[in-house]
Amino acid sequence: MRFPNLRVLLRDIGGILNVLGIVMLVPAIVAYFFKDFVAFEHFLITAICTLTAGIVLRCIFKRSYDTELKHAMVCAALSWLIVSAISAHIFVVVGGFGWIDAFFESMSGWTGTGLTVTHPSSLTKTLQFWRSMMQWLGGVGVIVLMVSILGRRPGTGAYALYRAEAREEKIKPSVISTVQTIWWIYLLFTIIGIFILKSAGMSLWESINHAMTAIGTGGFTITDGSISYYDNTIIEIVIVPLMIAGAISFLVHYRFMTGVLPFRRKRGDARAYFVDMQCRTFFLILLILVVAVVGANIFYYGNIIESLRFSSFQTISALTCTGFQTEMRIYEWSESAKLLLAFAMILGGCAGSTAGGVKIWRLMIIYKGISDAIHRTFVPRRAIISHRLGDRVLDDDVMNKILSEAAILILMWLFFIFIGIIVLSFVVPEYTLSDIIFEVCSAQGNVGLSTGISGSSLHPAGKIMLILNMYVGRLEIIPVLMLLRSLIKGFKPL
C-alpha cells in the first residue's frame, strides 16, 4: 500500500468532514425557520459539499490501516484547521467578514475561546446561533464528536483519536461508551441551563444561545456587552453554576449522577464533587483567587459589595475559561487584579472538562513533584518512597514520567504565551504590558475575557498571533508540534 500514513489521515479527515457536513444542516434549518434564505442557501451548499468530500475520502481510503496515536495527533491538528477554515467561509459569504476576521471568529468559536472581532447584536440570528453551536460542539471536541457519531467499535483507533484531543479519562471501559455518556451529560446540563436562564429573565432565544456557550465554557454571546448587557444580578448568579459545571470533569459528574439517581444500576458517589481531589483543588484555588481579586479591586469599586459582584464573576469566568463578562472595563483594573486573572486563565479548569488552560491536574502534579523532592531530602537514601496522586499510588518511574510530561507541556505553553506577548507588544504599543499579557493568556487559555485589544481594528499580525495562541492552547501544543514534524520529516522515526 503506497503512502499508508497519508491514507489513514485522509480517511479520518473524511470522517471529520462527514460530521461537519451533518452539523451544518442544523443552522440551515434555523436559517429556514427565520426566513434567512441567503444563509440557508450557503449553509446547505456548504454542508452538501463537505459531506460529499467526506464520503469520497472515507470510501476511497476505507481499507487503510488502523489509526495509531501518531496519526490521531496529526489528524487532530489538521482537523481543527480544516473545520475552522470551512466555518470561516460561512462568515465570509453570509456575514461579509474579511478572511482573517472570519478565520479569527471561527477559530475562537471552535476552540471555545470567545474573543470576537464583530458586534454580535448586528449579526443575523442564523450567524448568532452558528457561533453558539460552534462553541457548544467545540467544547467536547471535534474528534470526540466524530468518534461518537461514526465510531462503530471500540479499539485502538478510537482511543488514539480520543487521546489526541488531550483527553485521557474514560468513564466506561469502551471509548465509544465514554463519549456517548459525555454527550448525555452535556445535553442534560444544556437543557437545565436553558431552563434556569429563561427563569432568570432571558428570552428563550437568549437562553438557548447562552446555555450552549456557558456549559461549553465558550463565552460567545448574542449581545455586544456580553452578560453586562443585562445588568441583572439574578442572571449573573444562575450562570455561575453553569460555568463551573463546564469546568468540572465529566467523570466526576457521572459519579455524582450515578450516586444520586436511585434507578441507576451502577452505584456512584453522591459526594463526588467533594471527594475528587482535582475538584477539591479547583474549588480551593477558585476561593483563593476570588478573595484576592476582590481585595485588589476594592478601591476601584469603592465598596466590598460592588467589588464582590464584579470581581468574583470575572474570576470564575477566567478560571473556568468561559469568558463571559459583567465588567467591560477590565483595562481600568489594577495591574495586580489583571495579572491574577491572567494566572487563572493560564491555569484553567479540570482535566476531562470543556475548560481550557493547562488544567488543575497538571498543577497538582507539579506541586506533588516539588513536595516529594523536598521530602526525599529528609529520608534515608535507600528508603522506598511511594507517590500518592489522588486515589492512585505510583512508583518512582511512573511519577517521574508524569511529572516530566506535565513540566514539558507547561514550559512549551509559557513559550507560546511569551511569543504572543512579544508580537502584540509591537502591534498594540498603546496598551500596557499587563493588558497584553491578559489578552494573550485569554486567547491561549481559550477564555475570551478581553481588555479591548481584540477587535476588527487589531492589526492582522495581532489577529494571526492570537489565532495561533487559541489553536495551540486548545490542542495543548503536542499535536501541533506533531503536525509540523510530520510535514518536515514524515512519520518515520528520527
Cβ atoms of 369 and 399 closer than 8 Å: yes
pLDDT recorded at residue 395: 66
Name residue 484's beta-bridge partners.
none
List the helix and strand counts (H, then E) for the chain. Answer: 21, 2
pLDDT recorded at residue 478: 83
Name residue 3's beta-bridge partners.
none
User: Residue 113 and residue 280: Cα distance in Å, rounded?
Assistant: 25
pLDDT recorded at residue 402: 81
Q: Tell me the CB-side half-sphere exposure of residue 56, using CA atoms within 13 A.
A: 6
Read out DSSP for 85-122? HHHHHHHHHTT---HHHHHHHHHHHHTT----SS-GGG
pLDDT recorded at residue 493: 58
Q: β-strands 392-394, 387-389: how paired?
A: antiparallel
Domain ranges within the chain, ordered by starting residue: 4-252
Nearest to 491 by CA among 72, 66, 67, 5: 5
Tens of pLDDT along the chain (494 residues)?
Answer: 567 788 888 888 998 899 899 999 999 999 999 999 999 999 999 999 999 999 999 889 887 777 777 777 888 889 899 999 999 999 999 999 999 999 999 999 999 999 999 999 999 999 999 999 999 998 887 656 555 555 544 444 555 555 555 555 656 656 677 777 888 899 999 999 999 999 999 999 999 999 999 999 999 999 999 999 999 999 999 999 999 999 998 889 988 888 766 555 555 676 888 888 899 999 999 999 999 999 999 999 999 999 999 999 999 999 999 999 999 999 999 999 999 999 999 999 998 888 989 999 888 888 888 887 787 777 776 666 666 666 666 666 777 788 888 888 899 999 999 999 999 999 999 999 999 999 999 999 999 999 999 999 999 999 999 999 999 998 888 888 888 888 887 766 54
Residue 489: how many other CB atoms lie within 10 Å = 10
Cβ atoms of 337 and 296 closer than 8 Å: yes
Q: Which residue has the cell 445535553?
A: 187
User: Residue 92 and residue 354: Cα distance in Å, rounded?
Assistant: 28
pLDDT recorded at residue 171: 61
* 249, three cell numbers: 470533569
Residue 456: how many other CB atoms lie within 10 Å = 14
User: Residue 293 and residue 339: Cα distance in Å, rounded?
Assistant: 10
User: Residue 11 and residue 208: Cα distance in Å, rounded?
Assistant: 34
Q: Which letter does DSSP use for residue 171 in this model?
A: S
Nearest to 201 by CA among 238, 226, 228: 238
Burial of 273: CB neighbours in 10 Å, binned 0-12, 13-18, 19+: middle
pLDDT recorded at residue 44: 97
pLDDT recorded at residue 394: 65
pLDDT recorded at residue 383: 62
